[in-house]
């Protein structure tokens, strides 16, 4: 009787073959925790250098943006200054323009009406025979000439051009006109040389004096309001300039 060869196995009767993948996983070399952490963490010097470079790049970008904004502002500064000067040199009489125009019309009417006796305003202005017969004195002549030049002439120019300096000239001229108007009324009521009693002030002289006073009052209000606006604009411009200088200083010093 032949014998069966014996199998080299355990009592379970099953063959055990080890898994090569499991062996390779179990035999894979490991690194310690300190080595892996050192490999993952970047160098501290490298981080500082990178942050400093980023900060410097941001500062350069900010400086370039500020320089572009400054150049754009400087490009339009001259035009803005020119517009501001033009606006500052103008007046805005508003509703008072109608009052001034009405007063100028009354002044024109006073030249047609009698000034004293049979002499009209135009007679006093031109020195005609009618003015000589009425013994028109120097105060009346100065009043009529100032009335025409400043009360009518410069007032119309200031209304049409709206220039501030023309309004100032109209103010000064009409103020002097008002004074000479009152003086002329007094002069016509005062006896002359040799106790001469001429004709008293007529409707043209009185009406012209009242119109000159009204015109002076309204021109003063217009010019004074414009002066207040100019002072406020200058104060605002100074504050804006100081703020711009402070902003530039902080940008240059890095504050």
pTM for the structure as a whole: 0.60
Decide if 136 is inside a domain. yes
pLDDT at residue 1, as a whole number: 41
Q: Is there a domain that residue 123 lies in?
A: yes
pLDDT over 60 (residue 28) = no
- Average pLDDT over the chain reads 74
Q: Do the domain assignments include residue 215?
A: yes
Q: What is the reported pLDDT for 34?
A: 42
Give the dihedral of Cα atoms 143, 145, 150, 155; nearest 10 deg.
100
Kindly report, residue by residue over 65-122, the tens digit of the pLDDT: 455 455 555 555 666 666 666 666 778 788 888 999 999 999 999 999 999 888 999 9
203-253 and 138-146 helices, crossing angle to 10°: 50
pLDDT > 80? residue 17? no
Residue 13 lies in a domain: no
142 in a structural domain: yes
Any domain includes 38: no
Q: What total number of domains does the chain contain?
A: 1
Pair of tokens at residue 33: 């925790």
Residue 181 falls inside a structural domain: yes
From CA 156, how far away is CA 162, in angstroms rounded? Answer: 10
Structure tokens at 166: 């023309």
Q: Which domain covers residue 158, as residue numbers?
A: 96-191+200-219
Task: Measure CA 183 to chain center.
Answer: 44
DSSP 118: T
- Any domain includes 101: yes
Place of tokens 């200058």: 234
């Amino acid at each position: 009787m032949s014998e069966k060869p014996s199998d080299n196995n355990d009592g379970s009767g099953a063959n055990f073959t080890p898994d090569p993948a499991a062996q390779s996983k179990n035999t894979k070399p490991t690194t310690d925790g300190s080595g892996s952490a050192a490999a993952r963490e970047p160098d501290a010097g490298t981080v500082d250098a990178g942050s400093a470079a980023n900060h410097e790049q941001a500062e350069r970008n900010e400086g370039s943006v500020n320089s572009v904004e400054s150049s754009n502002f400087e490009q339009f500064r001259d035009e803005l200054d020119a517009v501001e000067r033009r606006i500052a040199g103008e007046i805005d009489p508003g509703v008072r323009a109608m009052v001034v125009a009405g007063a100028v019309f009354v002044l024109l009417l006073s030249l047609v009406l009698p000034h004293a006796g049979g002499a009209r305003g135009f007679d006093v202005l031109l020195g005609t025979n009618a003015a000589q017969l009425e013994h028109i004195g120097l105060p009346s002549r100065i009043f009529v000439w100032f009335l025409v030049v400043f009360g009518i002439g410069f007032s119309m120019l200031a209304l049409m051009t709206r220039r501030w300096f023309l309004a100032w000239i109209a103010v000064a001229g009409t103020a002097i006109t008002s004074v000479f108007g009152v003086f002329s009324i007094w002069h016509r009521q005062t006896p002359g040389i040799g106790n001469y009693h001429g004709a008293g002030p007529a409707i043209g002289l009185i009406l012209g004096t009242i119109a000159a006073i009204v015109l002076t009052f309204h021109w003063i209000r217009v010019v004074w309001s414009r002066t207040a606006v100019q002072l406020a604009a200058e104060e605002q411009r100074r504050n804006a300039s100081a703020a711009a200088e402070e902003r530039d200083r902080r940008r240059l010093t890095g504050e």
